[in-house]
Structures are given as structure tokens and as C-alpha cells.
Structure 1
Amino acid sequence: MKPMTKAGCPLNARSFLFVPGDRPERFPKAIASGADCVIIDLEDSVDPERKKTARQAARSFMDAGARVLLRVNAVDTPWYDEDLALCASSEVQGVVFPKAESLSELENLRNVLRPKTVILPLIETAKGIANLRSIAEGPGIGRLIFGSVDLCLDLDLQPDDSEQELNWYRSALVLASRAAGLPAPVDGVFLSLQDEAGLLRACHAARRSGFGGKLCVHPYQVGQVRRAFSATPEELDWALRVLQAAQSSPGAFRFQGCMVDAPVLLRARRLLASVQESVEVTKVLTSQG
């Protein structure tokens, strides 16, 4: 899996930071936060009377050379068409498409975008979950994003701190992504800005479930998210040693009291490859900064 599209959007990114579109003074801070991707939000964080202001601010920022993701307003809102016109800009790396529910919506969006601009559907409604397979296999899809907050609202779910009630829906995104050949999906936001331990628990649970990154709502979350979705030193040490052991042990063999065969070796190679991909993403982000 290549870490970058031709447009320069890191599809194996771990941290995606939202910044309100009507707060342009925060745009440079978001870029400087170290987030793999910055999403200028034209939707939920912007009041209706400030939608035009947010769009103009995003346009000015991109005219100055910034390359970002845009979260547009939903297709059934009065702001969608003007948002869509903005998305045709060459500085838009990708479009975060809220409340994605059908292939036809995505095909219409694809027809407006430049060929190298990726679509990142937000799966946050019952219809979106029901149509996951066709959405994941749609044209120009870069990665699926789990809109956990809105999905809870749509389904009237009331998860506790462990969010076990959302496990089935998360697994559905992981399965659909893998079947469609997409990178691991991106987990939803963690709303508390003071519960550092809770954020880390949420990140680790998402990574164990097959997610590859997480949405962030504040720059302070970026570093924790990037670390949580990265291979640990212990994992990398294990990967190196088990691959070294495999060189002198053809076929299945015993390592640290466990049986090692082809799938285990493949996991070790993936762990080491993830480090190289992370280095390549960092180089690209630095060159763009």
C-alpha cells in the first residue's frame, strides 16, 4: 500500500484535525500541530449565517498555497452547491463527505472534482451503514471515516464510556474497507478535551479493532493519536527478531513459546512497513510546510 496518492494526500495518515472554517486565525495553528491531515470544516462547527464567511476563508487560505481537506455541508442543505464549487480547486486534497448514504451521491461528487482529489465518506447514518459495501467501492474513494456521534443520534444509541454498543458498526467499516481494498478506516472524534486517559483508551481500542487513525477536535489530541496508532518499540523489536529467526527456520517454527507461520511473518513485515510509510508521510508534510 502506497502512503501517498498522486495528489499528495496521505491515505495512511493517523491524525485528522478539524478546524472551523470561520476561524481562519486557527488555520496556521492547525497546520503547525503536526496533524497528518487538516480538515477545514464548513459543516457542523460553522453557524448557518457564517457559511459564506467560512467558504471565503478556506478559499483565501488555499489561494495562499495551503493544501487541505474540506468537510462540506450535506447534500440536502442549501450550502452544498457552493461548497462543491470550492472543492474543484487544485489545493483540495480530499473532500470529507458528511452523511454518505448512497453511491449516486458519490458519483455526482466525483464528476465535479479533479481526478486526483479523493473522497472520504463520513459514515454516520443508518442508511450509510446499510450501503457500506457500495459506498466503499465507489469511484475515487480514499478512505472511510466513522461518524460515531451522528450515528448515535440517528440510531438513538446511548453508549457508555467503553462504547461497546458501537463495536458492530466499527467492525462493519473495517470489513467494508478491507473488502474494497481501502486503507484502514478512520475512527470518530473523542469529544472530551480534558480526559487524556480516555482518549488513549479510545485510540487503543480503535486500533485493536482494525482502525488506522482518528479524527481530532483539538491540536492537543494530535500527538496522542499519532503515537497510539503507531507501532510501539516493543512491537517493532518483536517484528525484527521474529523475521531474523525466520531466516534460519524455514516453514513454521517456535518463537518465544508461540508458533510462527506465514500470517505471523506477514504481520511482522506490515509493522516494519508502517514505520517506513510514516517516515515518507512526514517527509511530504515537511516539504509542503
Structure 2
Amino acid sequence: MQRRSWLFTPATKPERFDRAAEAGADVLIIDLEDAVAPSAKATARQAALDWLSGPSDSRIVRVLRINAPNTVFGLEDLLGVVQSDAQPDLILVPKSDSADILRLIDGLLSRSGKMARLVALIETANGVAAAEAIARATSRLDSLFFGAADLAADLGAEMAWDPLLAARARVVNAAALAGLAVVDSPFFALGEEDGLRAEAAAAARMGFTGKAAIHPRQIATINQTFTPSAEQVEEARRILVENVKGVGVVDGRMIDEAVARKARRVLSAAGEPIPK
């Protein structure tokens, strides 16, 4: 499945869970952390677990964002998953600061027979510093997720593209080293469509494979940005046809294996078959 748009939905709003697929999101993140007040954690957790125990919707990837695993709420979230029938596709682990915590969660899930894979949310200075080790922590790890808001607060930086560019690049590089997908932080200014489009395009150019959304109206722009155009798909096909002959030329540009690798990524992102 394509995983371009990752839509956050508070676990306190179970009536919205089924709407995510209708809104066109590829991924639904049921949020037990920032979107839920401490007094509502238990009720929200039960609502999320109940929904995740029901039949899966094949149109959307279901993700549960737990609370930080070094907190009581986070431990209760993990126990809730392993002691229930809930079957999230992915578990988003906030404040992923080390490989050790991901291995610990992997062991807990393995012993309980859960198949959910992990997404490491890198949103602290320690997490960025350990990005490469985190990316290689466990074979259960599916993706890295860049968290701009918490990282900016940790660094004392403005939450804008340029101040966080080095951190973004390190997370993308760590994901590439481990062969993982990598998701960019949400764009938080809901009324700024041009800003969303520009930031999503910059993230796609950098190597991110998808971007998070905090409102359904952001989904169409994100999906469009992370879906290669028909022209890009056609060019990728021609590159791969030429590449099987060895070094060649397409539209006046030399084609070698490095260019062919990029072409394969374009076809993969478009959901197109890759020629052998």
C-alpha cells in the first residue's frame, strides 16, 4: 500500500476513525499521546483498543501512537495492546531516543504474538544523535518519523524548515542506511495551503516517503506531492528500458545504475510495476 499521507486523529474521537479512509488518507494514526489529556488517557486507550480489535479496513494502514514508553501512560498503552485483541499495523513510538527501547518493545510484542511493526518518532536531540543506531535497532522497525515540534522545543530553535534542515537530513540518511520508509512532520499552519505544498515538495525532494497531516483537508495536497506525475513515471520506464543495455542516454542525459535506482523508486512510489 502507498503510505504518502499519515493522518493524526485523537483517540478521544472514535467517531472519526472510520472517516480517515473516506478522506483519502493512506495511514490513520490514532493518537494516545499529545492529543489526549491525562484525565482522558484510560478512556481514550480503551476506545482505540476496541476499534483496533475490530475488522481491518484494507484501504488504510492503522497506527497507534502510544505515550512515551518511559512514562506510566506509555507502559499502560503497551500492556493494553499485548493484553487485548487489538491488532494495529504499526505502533508509533514517541521520544525514540535509543535503540534499546525499541528492542525492549520488540521483545514484548514478540512474546505476546503481536505482529505490529514499529515506527520510531525521532523528536529530541538525543534521538537525532542516535538516529543511525535507532534505524538498525530491530527488524520489526518499519519507518522513521521526524517530529519537528518537539525537536524545535528541545533545541530552542524556530519550528521552521531551515533551522531543522540538518536534523531532517540526518533522519533521512539514517532511514536510507537501513532501507526504511521515512515520514516528515506535519505542517501545522492549517490555513496556509501554499506553505503546506512548498514544505511537502521540499520533503519529497529530500527523500521523505510521506508526510503527516493534522487535518483531512491537508491530505489531497500531500498525496499529490508524493505521487509521481505521469511524465515522471513515463521517464522512469524509459530510463529502465535503456539501462538494461548498460550506460545509455535518455533525453540527452547519461543513464547509469545510479539514475536507474532513482527511476525504480519513482515507479515504486507511483505503485507501478518495476521492469526486471
1:227 offset after TM fit, Å?
Answer: 1.2
Q: Give the secondary-structure state (helix, strand or coil) at the position aligned to 2:18.
A: helix
Match of 1:153 in 2: 153
Q: Give the secondary-structure state (helix, strand or coil) at the position aligned to 2:188.
A: coil
Aligned length: 263
Q: Does 1:197 align with 2:194?
A: yes
The CA distance in 1 between the partners of 2:29 and 2:252, in whole Å, is 45
Counterpart contact for 2:242–2:255, Cα < 8 Å: no
Q: Does 1:109 align with 2:99?
A: no
Q: Which runs of 5+ in 2 are unaligned?
A: none
Alignment of 1:119-268 (within 5 A): 119-139=118-138, 140-160=140-160, 163-183=161-181, 185-245=182-242, 250-268=245-263
From 254, 257, 275, the equivalent of 2:270 is 275
Q: Which runs of 5+ in 1 are unaligned?
A: 1-9, 279-289
Report the AA paired with residue 44 of structure 1.
Answer: D
Comparing 58-67 with 68-77, greater Cα deviation is found at 58-67
1:40 offset after TM fit, Å?
Answer: 0.5
Q: Which deviations, in whole Å up to 9, do the C-alpha atoms of 1:70-101 show, x marking residues without a partner?
A: 10111232212220022224521111000001
Superposed CA RMSD: 1.9
TM-score using structure 2 length: 0.88
TM-score using structure 1 length: 0.85
From 48, 56, 63, the equivalent of 1:69 is 63
Match of 1:44 in 2: 34
Q: Give the secondary-structure state (helix, strand or coil) at the position aligned to 1:18.
A: strand
Match of 2:9 in 1: 19
Q: Give the secondary-structure state (helix, strand or coil) at the position aligned to 2:7.
A: strand
The CA distance in 1 between the partners of 2:242 and 2:179, in whole Å, is 31
The CA distance in 2 between the partners of 1:231 and 1:171, in whole Å, is 21
Counterpart contact for 1:143–1:177, Cα < 8 Å: yes
1:244 offset after TM fit, Å?
Answer: 4.4
- The percentage of aligned residue pairs carrying the same residue is 37
The CA distance in 2 between the partners of 1:265 and 1:78, in whole Å, is 48
Q: Give the secondary-structure state (helix, strand or coil) at the position aligned to 1:69.
A: strand
Report the AA paired with residue 21 of structure 1.
Answer: A
The CA distance in 2 between the partners of 1:40 and 1:240, in whole Å, is 37
Counterpart contact for 1:65–1:91, Cα < 8 Å: no
